[in-house]
Every structure is written in structure tokens, then in C-alpha cells.
Structure 1
Amino acid sequence: MSLSIASVTFEHHRSALGIGEPSPRISWRFDGTVSNWTQSAYELEIQRAGEASTFRVNSSDSVLVPWPADPLQSGEEATVRVRAFGHSNQPGSSWSEPVTVEPGLLSADDWQGAVAIVSDRETEVNATHRPIYFRKDFDVDEEILSARLYITALGVYEAEINGQAVGDHVLAPGWQSYTHRHEYNTYDVTDLLQAGDNAIGVTVGEGWYAGALSWNMIRNIYGDTLGFLSLLSITTANGETIYIPSDSTWTSSTGPIVASEIYNGETYDSTQEIEGWSEPGFDASDWLGTHEVEFDKSVLAAPDAPPVRRIEERKLENVFKSASGKTVLDFGQNLVGWLRVRVKGPQGSTVSFLHTEVMENGEVATRPLRNAKATDNLTLSGDDQEWEPSFTFHGFRFVQVTGWPEETELDADSVTAIVINSDMEQTGFFNCSNPLLNKLHENIIWSMRGNFFSIPTDCPQRDERLGWTGDINAFARTANFIYDTAGFLRGWLKDVHSEQLENNYAPPFVIPNVLAGWGSAASIWGDAIVGVPWALFQTYGDKGMLAEQYAGAQLWLDKGILRNEAGLWNRSSFQFADWLDPLAPPDSPGDATTNKYLVSDAYLIHSTEMVANISAYLEYSEEAEKYAADRVNLTRAFQRAWISNNGTVANETQTGLTLPLYFKLFAQPSHYTAAASRLVDIIEENDYKVGTGFAGTHLLGHTLSQYNASSTFYNTLLQEDVPGWLFQVLMNGTTTWERWDSILANGSVNPGEMTSFNHYAVGSVGAWMHENIGGLKPLTPGWKRFAVDVRVGGDLTSANERFVSPYGVVESSWRVENGLFRLAVRVPPNSEAVVTLPGMTRSGRKQVTVGSGVHRFESSLG
């Protein structure tokens, strides 16, 4: 038996440099197979300014425990170690490895007079903004002990010091609702500086700040001039601090990046490269000046989410000719990122790269891109060169190349795909005996990766790429298992609440809201302000996040929803409802078979129940009672509006029955049994094909399992025809699609205007796979107590699932042999599992509670 502390984190940061919390909560995971171990106490050793203090707390808590010392100051580094103690006759852990934590700049005054600056260059406001290069020389006469660069941009930036790149972030600072929350980044740049002459350079592209966004191609939503704000703070050996702020002493110019747009791609002219521009001694006498622009430092915020980074490289799998003779690259995977190119060709010649997700009629399919050009243009220098774009990204598998020079062979050595996304920790892993389900799960992961790109987007390729609230509301339960989304979604949710306050208390359809004036309040999409925090809370147990979002959830229920006299949704309100119902016409995806107000009313009641539960967890007893009573009254109103006295629902569709079953909206116990039976019948009569849209798809499987009909959902999950999940797999999809038939059975692209091959919403089935095939789900918020409840079916003979919980690694591994179900379960220290075994005994399904350790079980399926 063993016990150790596997990791120590602060808030939800994997790297705690430049965080925004002066008193960060501390968490630690355990590793080891010690049996039935629970924590009785812990000690925190905090070292700051060379002095160590130890704090002992008698508590079983090991997740998000309070900071026990005085708050940290801006830029103050502390080193923390943890050790945990068991109960009597139980071992304790040794000290963890030391981990450092350091806040960024916690107040506007800490920026030491730095101002936001822009170039003196005149720009054309209603056109693409050419990226701007900024630079400054400075001297450091003392030995350097440490240095930090704090930086953000009016746009997106890359920074260099003495000719070397600062950090590994891309498209920083990412996309936020900049008028409410504008993130800055913190870098340790100690090793980039030198005693004597130094130089710093910053390149700024338009990004989301000033670039064209949405299908409306609206420019300059947040500003019409590119600039940045930075502070370089240098601590010397004699104790002095030297500050190099952004101010009007910097100079500016343009360079080889001629244009770089989110949707349209980048144009790079190598013949305009400026050698040594970010190195000391560079002659900038012909560069322009800079000037200050107004910037509200009160909206500056340290990131909650990890940065967007280069995560993976994908090798080129095939080079072929299109039907018309054009050269096409195939990377074998629909991914998000860009190309890295190694090439030599005639100076001044240009190579173009057009990115698409699929082929159609032997050509790259550009129609699904709509107005996005998705094309990078590289003008060659004449020498050997390596290039990749800076301020754009693409969703693609195929790339059409024109103008490639004869001097360089076009192969896997010359072109590589760089996969880019927010650098979250993968926490969920799934594998089973059915290779098609494994491929489906892999596709779900790839779609999540491609769309968790600074914000949770709907798609990564066309003229959209927006933070649609309905999509993440449906997918959050799946997402929170696959990756650690705690910081990523916490930051985005802050913007949801800020934008809500400017939209009559209703969360806009997209966050950040770049569709201002387009629509108002709608169920499911607006309900994300309740559903996403609640799903996050189930996985991470973070009451602090829940408290941050409580006011927004209340405002949505109390003021944002447009109600009728019964308290249900106003019957003239706009609703997406069961969006993309498979029977909806291709050009009218909102024309679902289930009444939109039935759907909206059901979600209203569900959100009311969640807010009642949130109130209880936050110990707001009066509010908890109020919303619980509202839930009862609304349920009665729903029954009067939508359910007959004999329990028949007004719309007996897959969604129409799923919602009242899952949300518990029937009046009599017998109505549930009968409705569940009718739902099974409808699915069987539909040949086990999916009959749900956004409102019902993510809940269908959970509902069937809840009413002991998981075998029915297995048949649906394994359906190979459209509409069904495996149709996409069999049609060679490598991500999940927006429509069940984004590619038709004949291989052509769906004619609908909205046809994306990388949407995560239908990947919400992943949660059912995790909880029923793998069998793992939390029973208490944060996974301190969790369930292992495998639903054997679908001719599966084995499965293995692993989840890195806040307490450590949770694992289930099972197989069926000769009518016996054999299960191994790993429970991390300081947590427990409730294991339910399939197969019937006289008293029903066997259930046992176990503590930490590795446990093995066997039961008969006969």
C-alpha cells in the first residue's frame, strides 16, 4: 500500500504564475493504493520572502481549501508544500514537491504608469488592419535576479525580447468580452534579458478585437486601432526594481505580415522581413512614433483559463490531385490550427494554402466556409525558410496548395499541421470492445479540442466561430469529464453574466456578444447561465464559482425570462427550442416536431429546480424555499398546459417525452412508467434512429437508463444509418458534425447553409458513454463520493475508463466472460465509491460502498 500527493494546484491553475487571486484556494490530488484511507488533517508549509510558516488544519478537505496566510501582493512569489495525515493506524503522506504561486498585477496602480499605446501610422478604419510592430531599447546595468512581463493587446499579440520569443501562447490574450474583462498575461522573462543593452518588441494583429466577426462580418466591435499595454518589471541583485512600461517612447512600423484575419487567413511577405527588429542596436530611425489611447485598467483581469498553445503536430498523410488537377494535402484528421511550412523557392513568388474540412466531387469543399476565405498566402524570400502564421487559425483536414515551388518537394518534411487549442489537462479516457464507439469517442474529443479555443465555440472553420450558449449547455456534462474545464468555463461564465446585464437580464445567444440587437431571451441558450455552472459544480465542487454565478442565475429566472400569466414562457417569444431536430428541413433547422414552448417550459422548470439546489448549497435557505415552491407551481402549470389527465403529453415525440420524464414533470407515478414505455415504443418504431434536436439529444440516453431502458439506447447509439452517431463514423468523419447528415449517404455535402463538420453538440452522448459504459459519475459535487454503475449491453464484452478526479485517478475496468461480469475499480485516497453490479439477485441489483484502493468484483449476468 502506498500514499503520496500527486499534485498541488491553486484555484484551477496548472501554472500559478500571474494569477488573479491574492489568497488562492489550494487543492491536492492523491496517488497510491492505500485501502480505505481518509484524511484527518493536513499541513501547509508556505515560504515567502525566505521565511517558512506551517499551518495545520484538522479537516478532511483536500479540494479548494482556504489560503491560511496573509494575502499575497502583486508579483509576490510563495512556495507551498502539503502533507496529509490519515486517521489512527493509517499512514500519512510525505511532503509534496514544492510548488510556486505568484499573483499578477492586482490593481491598476501596480502597472506603474504603463499606458495603452498605438502607432502614429494612419489606418483605414473599415478595412483589414495590417499588423503593427512595436519596439523599444533599454539598458540594465545591474545583475538581473528576475523579470516579469505583464502584457495584453488591443488585438492579439506576440512578444520578443532580444530576438527571442516570449512564452508559448498563441493568439494571446484570447477572446473575452473586452469591455468587461480584458485579460493580460504574465511571463517569466528572466532568461531572455542580459546585463547591458536590451530590446523588446511586440507584434499586434487585429484578432477578435478589431477583426471581422460573424456572418455579418462586423469590424471593430471593440476598437478600430491596434495597440498594446505592457509592463516589464526587472528585479536586480541590489534589490532595485526597474520598470519598462509601454508609453510614447516606443516606436512602431509595419512588417512582413501584410494581413492576418481570423476568418480569411494570413498574408505574409517574406521580402519585407525586418532582420533584428527586436534586438538591441537595431536602427529604428525610420520607424514611426506611438501615442497613448484611452484604456480602462479596471477591466484588466488575470486569466482563469489556460492559454491557447500549440498542442500537437500532425504529419501529412497524403498528397493528391483534385479532379481539376489542383494539389491537395490530406492530414487524415479534421483539426484546428495552421500549417508550418519549410520551403525554398524563387524570391517574390507566392504560395497559397486554402483550408477545408472535406472534399466534394473531387474538389476541396469551400461552400461550408460561407464567407470565410480560410486562405494563407506566403510570398517567398528566395532562401530556405520556415514559416507559420501568427494571428489566424483554420478548421481543416484538407489544404489546396497553389504556387508551390519546384525547388522543394511537397511532402511530410516540408508541411506539418500544428494543432492549436486551449491547453486544458485531459482528465477523461475511454475505451471499449467496439471499435466504432471508440472512434466516436475519439471524434468527440477532437471536436471539443477544436472548439475549446479561448471560448467554447460552435465551430472553428466558417464565418462564425462564436460562443453559442446553447451548444455548451448541452455539452458541458461531457466536456467536464474529458478535460479539466474548471478555469476555462469559469472565466467564460464571468462574461456571460456581464453580457447578461446589458441584455435585459437575458444571457445573449453568443458570448462574447457580437450579435447585439439580434434576438433576446430564449430557453436552453439562456438557461446556460444556470446549467453550465451547475454542471461545473458537479465535477469540481467549486462553491466559489457557484457563488460568482448565483446573481446571474437569479436574474435570469426573476427578470430575464419572458413569461405568460401562468409563469411559463410567453407564447410569442422567440425560441430555438429543439434546434436541428432530424426531421426539420435543411434550410429551417428550428422547425422541430416538438412544440417549442413545451420544450422551453420544461427547461424553465429544470432551471428553477437547479437554482433551488444552488441556493441550498450556498446556504441561502429562504431563496432555496422560494425556488423550490416556484418549481412546484410551475410543474402544475406545465401539467395543465401540456399533459392530459391520463399522462399523455401534447407532443408524443422523443424529445416531448424525454423532457418530462427526465425533469420529473408528470403528476402520477404511473404516468412515468407508461411514458417511458411509450418513449421506447417510439424509438423502436423509428428503427432506433435519433429523433431529438438540441433540447433532447443530450438527455435521451440518460432518461432511458433512468427508466431501465438502457438497452434501447444502446440500439440507438449503435445505429449505423442516419440520423445516428455511427453514421458519421462510417462516413469517415474524424470529428462530430453539426447535422446528422452533414455528408449525405451518397457522399455529397448537405445543401443546408449551416453545414459544419466540427460541432461538439451531438457529442454530448459522450456523457452517457462515460456514465453507462464506463460507469463513472459523481454522486456528490466534486467526486468525493462517486458511482460505478456499468450498464452492460450493446454486445460489448469489455470497457476501460479512467478519470482524473479532484482527489486522484478514478478507474473502472470490466469484461464479460462466460456469463460472468468481472469489474476492477480504483478509488483514490480520501474518496469513496458506490459500486452497483449488473445481474439480479433476490433483493435486486447488488450495491456496495468501498473506500480507497483497488477493488475487484464478480457477478452473474444470468
Structure 2
Amino acid sequence: MICTAPTFEQRSPGEPALGVGTPTPRLTWAVADAPDDVRQASATVKVTRSPWGGEASTETATLDSDAQVLVDWPFVPLASRERAEVRVRVHATDGADSDWSEPAVVEAGLLATSDWGDARLISPVGVGGLDEPAPALVATWELPAGVRAARLHLTAHGWYEVLINGRRVGEDWFGPGWTAYEDRLRYYTHDVTDLLTAGTNTVQILLGNGWWRSPLTWNMERMYGDRLAALARLEVVTDDGATQALGTDDSWVARTTHVTANDLYGGETQDLRRPLIDDADHPVEVVDLDLDTLVAARGPAVRVTEVVDAQRVWRSPAGKLLVDFGQNLVGVTRLTVRGLASGDAVTIRHAEVLEHDELGTRPLRNARATASYTVAGPQETVLAPHFTFFGFRYAEVTGVDELAAEDISALVLHSAMTRTGWFTSSHDLLNQLHENVVWGMRGNFLDVPTDCPQRDERLGWTGDIQVFSPTALILHDAAGFLGSWLEDLAAEQDDSGAVPIVVPHVLRGGLGGRPAAAWGDAASVVPWNVYAATGDAEVLRRQLPSMKAWVDCVAAAAGEDHLWTGDFQFGDWLDPDAPPEKPGDSKVDKDLVATACLVRSARLTADACAAVGDEEGRAHYAGLADAVRTALRNRWITADGLVHSDSPTGYAMAICWDLLDDAQRVFAGARLADLARLNSFRVSTGFVGTPLICQALHDTGHTDVAYRLLLEEGCPSWLYPVTMGATTIWERWDSMLPDGTINPGEMTSFNHYALGAVAEFLHQVVAGLTVDAVARHVELAPAPTHLLEHASSRRLTPWGEASGSWRREGGELIVEATIPVGLRGTVVTPGGERHEVGPGTHRFEVAAPPAPDAPATVRDYVSSDAWPRASAALLEVLPLDDARQIAQGLGAFLDVPVDQLGMALTMGGMFGPAAEVQAVVDASLAPSAS
């Protein structure tokens, strides 16, 4: 039996957790290898503690529990700066003991404002102003020999990059990140022991505009402040136990760097004829900062997580030198040049797509997305930005005559979360769709969950993360990332409880702070999803005041009749049937969406209250949810289950959010399935409905229709972008039109993760794997289809790896599940037989579900494998130009026998000759056509 090293709520996996903001960090460990059905009975934790400058001591604690995840700190709380090396030994139910785990290291940060000592926030004077070269703050420090340990605690207004004796501190980018700066300013702690020497040491803090001083939003407004500044405290312990510290104060000096311009959307300009940091000293001054706003970093920092090589370099029809990296990504380009003259300019423009074989920059709007360099001479030079990032697959390089692919690469940047979810199947396009979702998340989880990473926006839209958070928590360990962002959300709520539509809140005025359904619901939905994925009730305790405030705000807006009507709403945003210039004009009634969201948020808030033992809150919000549900049903749902607007999103909400009784649910599921058939299985939902529709179909017994929807390749569909070469999720279903031109709307992005929420369905229904961290339970209940040969999901849980798969072998279906130690499992094989299992690997063989029967009615026919072939052939017979027009014409004939379809179409006004139409139908159903 093997026990893994414990982990903490840390910034980056596999590293010491430095500068944690709590004296009692929780521990998580896994039993990586054990006999089947063996579990932990108890555990012993050993800690070696080293106070800053003090002597180490060791103690142990025995935990009589099977808890392995987020276990409370079993020792005296840590003091500021105290280091702890922790090991775990597991005692199993079979009487065996594991060896001691490998050690894990955690260090407390500066837990009190007084720990910052004399360090103050300082800003350059005379340099580093608006539209001036990026500044650096510089100091020297004399140190004796024998430095045992050194830590740098650091934050800034703006982005920082630190050099000590000319060497870069750490691997993090864009610190201290983007938070609700007025309330929460992160600081980071770095181990700089190896960078210091005996004698004179030079510390240089380069400062870039970042989110603090870049023009933000499409209005290009500067939002936070007009001065860059930094707060730092560098501390050392020498071999004799003595401590020394260097803090930022007015004795530091400011200098100028060769970064002559930088901002978030425009990019960066460098003059490499100048030194990185010059030697002309300018004064600094202390500026105000409330140290009580300082918080230790919770989630992972932004880092380079991958280097992508250029796949192709060529000249465009206009003679431009273009580079294709083969993957739409977020980061920067790194270019090596040589043989140029001093003063020569090299410029790199970035874009996500090509249009007419040239760089497609129109979707960037006001973002120039350009890196420009003036080189110093012919020597080989590596060009890369310090203080910007781009969303791109393609680059256009000017200033060099020839370019070898090996001379340019892309550095992928995002918050360095651990990957936790993998999916694969026998369907190549479906596999690529899943990878597109992963890449979309990587690109947009860059310190905050942004909507898009490339144009003049890149904002933390609450609606996008509300719908995507369950998927995010499957694909990556995003709990720390989202937990930090949720604290910003709570800080940005106004006194009424309204949640801004973007967090951090930079859309002041107008609609920016008004409550909007599905967007503000991030306050209730995201904390619940984090809790469900981790079992961590602390996130609910921390966010519950915010959850309640949001629901109270909306309940007040709904009034005594409990119907939220008449206010501005986004509705089912980006419904594919909405005009490009009016993306909020959805088929479903916006007031229905708003009121349904209130039911859901009130119910989740009641559940959160129950989870933390708040019985009074549970009763109140459960009662509110029931009252709003009743009002909604009376207003918008008929007795038989017809939902107002008769739209797919309306039915999907009603099914997934429990707005219906059993009889209504049967009708709603059938109607939703028919709407999918009558739209030829094209997606017809926007931001609200898209994450729900496949699940709603599956839950009401129409899994076959869900698969037809999922696997459709015509536009709009999930797979249409894949067939067009997409490597991320698009904002619009038709961000690129079939002829290769960019959607004419003013708002289109080729890296927008929200519609990728369907990946949750891939894991939990197609592969069938669901992990319930609260109940410590894994369920494998796959929904095999004749359209696939196999599917599997792997999940890295806090307890270890869980996996589930199914595959066809002859006439058998093989179902396999792996349950990690610490969890129980249930395997539901096709046919409904349930098998309760313990930790270990389990295999079941059952008869493979038979192929579907030959279609008897038009409804069956439209859902069958024959329909895609038939609809294409019918377009040659009927005076129509789209398969959806054929499907929509079948609305009155779904119950007609399939052998009468030709006559039905002709009598229905489709004007096709009945005999020819029926011949196409009969040919598509012939055995040789399959």
C-alpha cells in the first residue's frame, strides 16, 4: 500500500506551498496503491516544524478516521513564516500500514499586517508615467555569507517581474493577478535563497501596466489607477539564526526599461538598443495602501505551461510572412532573429484565424495584438514580451526576409491548474471537440475566468463561468482558482446584493451593475458546483452571505407575485436564430428565463444552508423556491406540460431545474425531442439552454435524440466548428461561415469556452462517469449508442484516479470501472442492473444493446441513421436549400407511417413529386444504404 505526499491549497502543483494565508492549512492525500476493497481506517501525520529563524521540532498526530481530503490541520497553528514538512502514514482496514509518504512542504505567509514591517508601497517619480517606458524599482543589499533561507513577499499595482542579481525570480507571470483591487490585493511569496550571494545584491522590480493601468473594455477606459507601484519585503535567515529584511521604501530608486510601451490589448514595444534597465536613478515616493486589503494567493499563478512549435511558415497571397502554430492558444510568441542591423524593426501581429488566406484581425476590434521590437544589431537575439498576452493561432511577421519554423514558437500561458479530466471515444470529431473545450478553458482561465482572450474585452463575465463551472471542475482542479474569484464576486456585490455582469467589476454604469439572470446567478451556482466537485463545505460557508444577498436582491425585484419580469435581461444569449447584431433576441421568453433562474438559485441557496447547518436559512430559501416555482408554473406552463415560447431552452430549463410534475415532464421531454427533430438536429439554444439540452433529452428517455444532436455536423452544431478546423470553442456557432469568411457581426470570438459546457455530458452520460465528492461516491452509468464503438472518462479526484469505460466486443458490451481508495462506487450496466462496488477495478460483460428497429413513423425516420443521407438526397428533389427546411416541413406529419412520407410532403405544400420523394426515402432505408 502506497500513500501519496499530502497536498495543500497551493499555487502550483508539486511544489512547496509558500506563503499560504492560513495558520491551519488543510491536508489531502491519496492511497495510490492498495488491494481491492481495502480502505483507510486511520492515519498518522508527522510534521517537522521550523519557525523562521528558529530550531526545527517534530511531532505526530493520529487521526482515527477514514478522511483523506481537506483534513483539518491536527497541530498547533503555524506562525507567520513558519515552515512545516508533513508526511502521512495510512493504517488500512486489512491491518496493513503504508510506508511514510514523501514529504510535502507548507509555509505560512505574512499573517498579520505588522509582518510587513517598514515596507511600503512605492511608486516612481519622473519616470514610468502614462504612455512612458515601463519603469523598474531598484535597490542594493549587503548580505553576509551563510544565508540559510530567503523569501520575497511581493505585490504591486500593475504587473511585476523581479530580477535578483540579474536572474528572474520564479516562473510566475502577471503577478499579482487581477482581483477586486479596492478590497483584495494578492501578494505572492517566492523562495529566493539560491539567487542571493554574500556581499552586494541587486534587486530590480520591473513594472508593467497589466490590468491595473491598461485601457480596459471596448471603450478603452483606464480603470484603476494612473501610477504603477510595488510593495516588497525580502527576508533572510543566516546560518546562525539571525534574520534581516529589506523592504520597499523611499530609499529605493526608479529607472527606465527598454519596454517602451505595453498594455493588455495593444501588446508591447521594446527598443533593444537600450539596456533592459538603465542606470539613471530617479526618486520614488511612498503611496497609500491599506495593508488590510492584502491577501495571500489562493489559486495557482499564471505560468508557461507548454511551448508550441510553429507548424508551417509561408507567404500569403499579399506577400505577408505567416506562421501557423496549429492550435488556437493564449500566450506570447518567442522569435529568434539574427543578421539584422541596429535600428531594424521586427513586428509580430497575432490573430486566431485566416480570412481569404490573410491574417483575420477584424474580430480583435480595437486590440492591436502586436509585439514590436527595435533590434540592437546582428547578434542572435530572442524576442518575447514581458507585459502582455495574445489569443492566436496565426502570426504575421514583418522585418525579417526569411523565417525558419524552428526560430519561432508560442509560449502557452494560463493559470497553472492540474489537469483532472480526460475523455476519448471512437468518434474522432467528438474527441477533437473535447480537446477544443480543454484548450478553450486553458486560454480563458488566465487569473480570472474571461469570456475571450484576444479582443478588446477579456473580462470575467459571470454568465460564462456560471454555465461552464461544472465542466471546468471536471477538466481541471479549478477549485482554488474559482474560490479566489468568488471572493472577488462577493466583494463586488453592491448593497442591494446585485452581482455585476463582469467580475472584477470594470463595466461601471449602464448595465454593468444591474442584476441579470444567469449572469448574477454565478453567485449561487458556482459555489455550489465547487462544493459538489470537492466536498468542501468551507466554500459554502464563505460564500453563503453572497448567495443569500443575490437571491434576496432578485426576490425583491420579483416582488409579491414572485415573477421576475420587465427588467433588462440577456435571455438565452447567442441563440443561433438571433440576428448577428441582436444576440439577446432569443426564442425563449426572457422573463421566463429570469424567473426560472430565481427558482434554481433559491433552491441552491437552501441546499447550501442545509450543508452548513443553517436550518433557518434552509427553510426560508426552500420556501421561496417553492413559491417562485408555483408562480412560474401558473404563468408559463400549461397543465399538460407545454412551456411558454415552445422553445428548446424553455423545455430544457423546465426539465433540468425540476419545474414540472411527472406527467408534464413526459410531455416536455417528447416535445423537446420533436423540436430537435424538426430543426434537423441543429443546435437551437444559446448560453442558458446549451449546457442543459442533451441532459434534458437523456433524463426524459430521448438519449437517441441527444446523440443525434451531439453528433450533427451541419451549422449550427457542436461539431460544425470542428469540421471547419477549429481547435477551441467558438463564441458563435457560426463564427466562421462555411465559405471561410468571418461572421459579419461586430462580436465574434474563436476562443469562448461557454458553449463547451457540453463536455460535462461527454463525461457523465456518453462515458457515464460521475463523481460525487460530497457523498464520496463514483457512479458509472454509461449510455452506449450504436453510433459509437467505445467511450471512456478518466477523472483525477482528490482520492486518486477514477475511471469508467464501455466498448463493444462482438455482441458483448464490456463495462469497466476503477474506484480509488476512499470512495465507493455503483456500476449501472445497460438494462439497469446495479452493482455496488468498492475500491479497485471492476469489469462487467453484458449483451450489447441491439441496433435500432427500422423506423415505422416519420418521427422514427428523422431520428434514424438514414435521415442524414435522405435529407441530402431530398434537397435534389425538393425546391429547398437546407435540410432544416425539410425537417421543419414535417411538423404535422411526425406520426405518419414512413411509407407515406412522399405523399405527406407533397400534400403539405413541399411541392415535390410524391413518387420521387418516396423513392429517396425507400432507398435510404434499403439494407445496402446503411
Q: Name the TM-score, length of structure 2 as normaliser.
A: 0.89
Give the drift of 1:323: 2.3
How many Å separate the matches in 1 of 2:495 and 2:131?
29
Query: Equivalent residue for 1:822?
Result: 814
Query: Equivalent residue for 1:258?
Result: 260
How many Å separate the matches in 1 of 2:381 and 2:773?
55
Instruction: Kindly provide the amino acid, as one letter, of the partner of residue 310 in structure 1.
Output: V
> Structure 1 residue aligned with 2:622, among 624, 628, 649?
628
3-state DSSP of counterpart to 1:28: coil
**Structure 1 residues 560 and 670: alpha-carbon distance in aligned structure 2, compared to 1, 3 A threshold:** closer
How many Å separate the matches in 2 of 1:363 and 1:854?
52
1:9 aligns with 2:7: yes
How many Å separate the matches in 2 of 1:316 and 1:620?
56
Query: Equivalent residue for 2:921?
Result: none
1:847 aligns with 2:834: yes
Instruction: Kindly provide the amino acid, as one letter, of the partner of residue 469 in structure 1.
Output: T
Give the drift of 1:413: 2.3
> Structure 2 residue aligned with 1:248, among 242, 247, 250?
250
> Structure 2 residue aligned with 1:563, among 557, 560, 567?
557
> Structure 1 residue aligned with 2:398, among 396, 402, 405?
402
**Structure 1 residues 129 and 584: alpha-carbon distance in aligned structure 2, compared to 1, 3 A threshold:** farther
Q: Please, which moves more after superposition, 536-545 or 458-467?
A: 536-545
Q: Please, which moves more after superposition, 188-197 or 41-50?
A: 41-50
Query: Equivalent residue for 1:376?
Result: 371
- Are 1:352 and 1:403, in contact at CA under 8 Å, matched by a contact in 2? yes
Query: Equivalent residue for 2:98?
Result: 93
**Stretches of 4+ aligned residues off by more than 4 angstroms:** none
Give the drift of 1:780: 4.8
3-state DSSP of counterpart to 1:413: helix
**Structure 1 residues 490 and 31: alpha-carbon distance in aligned structure 2, compared to 1, 3 A threshold:** same
- Are 2:312 and 2:325, in contact at CA under 8 Å, matched by a contact in 1? yes
Instruction: Kindly provide the amino acid, as one letter, of the partner of residue 385 in structure 1.
Output: T
Query: Equivalent residue for 1:270?
Result: 272
1:860 aligns with 2:853: no
1:472 aligns with 2:477: no
Query: Equivalent residue for 2:76?
Result: 70
1:298 aligns with 2:292: yes
Give the drift of 1:274: 4.4
Query: Equivalent residue for 1:162?
Result: 165
How many Å separate the matches in 1 of 2:715 and 2:705?
17
3-state DSSP of counterpart to 1:272: coil
> Structure 1 residue aligned with 2:504, among 503, 512, 530?
512
3-state DSSP of counterpart to 2:30: strand
Give the drift of 1:38: 2.1
- Are 2:19 and 2:296, in contact at CA under 8 Å, matched by a contact in 1? yes
What's the CA shift string for 1:271-303, capped at 9, x where partnerless? Answer: 01147x6xxxxxx4x311111111111111111
- Are 1:506 and 1:561, in contact at CA under 8 Å, matched by a contact in 2? no
How many Å separate the matches in 2 of 1:162 and 1:253?
16
How many Å separate the matches in 1 of 2:805 and 2:709?
24
Query: Equivalent residue for 1:281?
Result: none
How many Å separate the matches in 2 of 1:231 and 1:117?
12
1:331 aligns with 2:325: yes
What's the CA shift string for 1:832-856, capped at 9, x where partnerless? Answer: 1111001x3xxxx101110001111
Instruction: Kindly provide the amino acid, as one letter, of the partner of residue 113 in structure 1.
Output: D
What's the CA shift string for 1:65-94, capped at 9, x where partnerless? Answer: 11111111111101111112222x343322
Query: Equivalent residue for 1:181?
Result: 184
How many Å separate the matches in 2 of 1:251 and 1:780?
52
How many Å separate the matches in 2 of 1:588 and 1:707?
32
Query: Equivalent residue for 2:655?
Result: 661
1:135 aligns with 2:118: no
Instruction: Kindly provide the amino acid, as one letter, of the partner of residue 62 in structure 1.
Output: Q
How many Å separate the matches in 1 of 2:587 and 2:254?
58
Query: Equivalent residue for 2:350?
Result: 355
How many Å separate the matches in 2 of 1:114 and 1:710?
62
What's the CA shift string for 1:180-226, capped at 9, x where partnerless? Answer: 1111111000000011111111100010001110101111x221101
How many Å separate the matches in 1 of 2:559 and 2:822?
50
Gaps of 5+ in 1: 278-283
How many Å separate the matches in 1 of 2:815 and 2:354?
44
1:712 aligns with 2:705: yes
> Structure 2 residue aligned with 1:529, among 511, 519, 523?
523
**Structure 1 residues 561 and 273: alpha-carbon distance in aligned structure 2, compared to 1, 3 A threshold:** farther
- Are 1:800 and 1:811, in contact at CA under 8 Å, matched by a contact in 2? yes
Q: Name the TM-score, length of structure 1 as normaliser.
A: 0.95
Query: Equivalent residue for 1:340?
Result: 334
What's the CA shift string for 1:351-374, capped at 9, x where partnerless? Answer: 111100111122111110000000
1:451 aligns with 2:479: no
What's the CA shift string for 1:641-661, capped at 9, x where partnerless? Answer: 101233221111100111111
Instruction: Kindly provide the amino acid, as one letter, of the partner of residue 352 in structure 1.
Output: T
How many Å separate the matches in 2 of 1:593 and 1:562?
26
Alignment of 1:190-229 (within 5 A): 190-219=193-222, 221-229=223-231
How many Å separate the matches in 1 of 2:624 and 2:554?
16
How many Å separate the matches in 1 of 2:123 and 2:526?
38
Query: Equivalent residue for 1:280?
Result: none
How many Å separate the matches in 1 of 2:344 and 2:556?
59
Query: Equivalent residue for 1:391?
Result: 387
> Structure 2 residue aligned with 1:144, among 138, 141, 147?
147
Give the drift of 1:167: 0.4
Query: Equivalent residue for 2:797?
Result: 805
Instruction: Kindly provide the amino acid, as one letter, of the partner of residue 714 in structure 1.
Output: Y
Give the drift of 1:814: 2.0
- Are 2:10 and 2:20, in contact at CA under 8 Å, matched by a contact in 1? no
Query: Equivalent residue for 2:779?
Result: 787
Query: Equivalent residue for 2:865?
Result: none
1:721 aligns with 2:726: no
How many Å separate the matches in 2 of 1:569 and 1:509?
21
- Are 1:562 and 1:573, in contact at CA under 8 Å, matched by a contact in 2? no
How many Å separate the matches in 1 of 2:662 and 2:748?
42
How many Å separate the matches in 1 of 2:84 and 2:225?
38
Alignment of 1:299-318 (within 5 A): 299-318=293-312
Instruction: Kindly provide the amino acid, as one letter, of the partner of residue 21 in structure 1.
Output: T
1:121 aligns with 2:126: yes
How many Å separate the matches in 2 of 1:847 and 1:236?
63
Q: Who wins on radius of gyration, i.e. which is larger?
A: 2
Give the drift of 1:239: 1.4
What's the CA shift string for 1:713-748, capped at 9, x where partnerless? Answer: 110010000110110000000101000000011111
Q: Point out which structure has higher relative CO (alpha carbons under 8 A, 6+ apart).
A: 1
> Structure 2 residue aligned with 1:764, among 757, 760, 776?
757
1:418 aligns with 2:411: yes
How many Å separate the matches in 2 of 1:460 and 1:562?
36
- Are 2:113 and 2:291, in contact at CA under 8 Å, matched by a contact in 1? yes
Give the drift of 1:561: 4.8
Give the drift of 1:615: 0.8
3-state DSSP of counterpart to 1:204: strand
> Structure 1 residue aligned with 2:578, among 584, 590, 594?
584
3-state DSSP of counterpart to 1:590: coil
Instruction: Kindly provide the amino acid, as one letter, of the partner of residue 605 in structure 1.
Output: V
What's the CA shift string for 1:116-151, capped at 9, x where partnerless? Answer: 111111565xx4353101111110124100000011
How many Å separate the matches in 2 of 1:725 and 1:251?
55
3-state DSSP of counterpart to 1:201: strand
3-state DSSP of counterpart to 2:215: coil
Instruction: Kindly provide the amino acid, as one letter, of the partner of residue 9 in structure 2.
Output: E
- What percentage of aligned pairs have identical amino acids? 39
3-state DSSP of counterpart to 1:658: helix
Give the drift of 1:559: 2.7
**Structure 1 residues 66 and 567: alpha-carbon distance in aligned structure 2, compared to 1, 3 A threshold:** farther
How many Å separate the matches in 2 of 1:297 and 1:9?
29
- Are 1:131 and 1:226, in contact at CA under 8 Å, matched by a contact in 2? no
- Are 2:127 and 2:256, in contact at CA under 8 Å, matched by a contact in 1? no
